[in-house]
Amino acid sequence: MLNTTTILLFANILLLIIGSLFLVSRQRNAQREIEKNHAEIASLKNELQALYSGAAGVGTHLARIESQINTLSERQEQFDVHDSSTMSYSEAIELVHQGATESDLVERCGLLREEAELLIRLHKDDAANVD
């Protein structure tokens, strides 16, 4: 018969084999989890790179839009300055009705000579009808 020491030795060997199999199984599971995490990290890196590229494109687009807005603002200011420094056409027409000459319209309204001439031709007859 087997003595107690031999039985204990076999039991310990059996426990070591079972423990080793358990540890190998755990190691395989951990390795699969690591590989899964690496794949997810790679995917996240790609998404982050796409976001960086998109953000750079948006920044460029915003800079271009800002430049266009500044240009338009400057042009609007030029129009505003021009409009405030000259009388309106309706005021010039009123002066034509009062008998103003081309020179009067050029001087007082800031019109070009051709504009003044055209206004007089268009509205001189109206002035005669008003009287």
Each of the 131 residues of the chain gets a pLDDT tens digit; together they read 579 999 999 999 999 999 999 999 999 999 999 999 999 999 999 999 999 988 888 988 999 999 999 999 888 888 766 665 556 788 889 999 999 999 998 988 888 999 999 999 999 876 555 55
Structural domain contains residue 30: no
Q: Which domain holds residue 109?
A: 87-131
Structural domain contains residue 64: no
The residue with tokens 């690496």 is 38
Structural domain contains residue 114: yes
The DSSP line for 20-76 is HHHHHHHHHHHHHHHHHHHHHHHHHHHHHHHHHHHHHHHHHHHHHHHHHHHHHHHHH
Structural domain contains residue 19: no
Q: Into how many domains does the chain fold?
A: 1
Instruction: Look up the pTM and report it.
Output: 0.43
- pLDDT for residue 86: 56
